[in-house]
Amino acid sequence: MDGGGGGTGTQGTLPSNYHDWGVITLWNTTNQRLTYSVSASTYQQGRYFNFTLGPGQFQSYFATFDAFNNAPNFHVSFDPIHQNNSIQLSQINTVFEKASWYPGVGTEGFPYAIAVNVSGLYLTPI
């Protein structure tokens, strides 16, 4: 099909130094400092890493993916020692950026609030 330029077009290629990134953002809406674990299926075979957020703080977590429809599955556990009862986050943002990109602001990901109720800590999309 002609793209309107008068000739036969050819498919270009995307720059090799760009990737799709799956990104989530966690917001600590509690009044306590929290330590938790986060994993992404496409980063180090889904290994968990521990992080700490103070009350009102937020942080983005990201992992690259290149295979079509193979976005990372993010998991969060409020048990940073054993990673029991991890929660899979079903929604992520996708960002197409350079291979050296990182979320500098910390709000680039699909937002989830860390909240607390009588049953303990939980995550909810915001």
C-alpha separations of 97 from 19, 26, 55 in Å:
6, 21, 30
Q: What is the mean pLDDT of the chain?
A: 89
- Give the pLDDT score at 10: 66
- Give the pLDDT score at 103: 92
Residue entry with tokens 């002609």: 2
- Give the pLDDT score at 6: 52
The more confidently predicted of residues 65 and 9 is 65
Mean predicted confidence (pLDDT) in 82-92:
95
Neighbours of 80 (CB within 10 A): 16
- Report pTM: 0.85
Q: Cβ(20)–Cβ(64) under 8 Å?
A: yes
- Specify the CATH architecture of the domain 18-125: Sandwich (2.60)
Q: Which residues contact 64 (CB under 8 A, 6 or more apart)?
A: 19, 20, 21, 22, 42, 43, 99
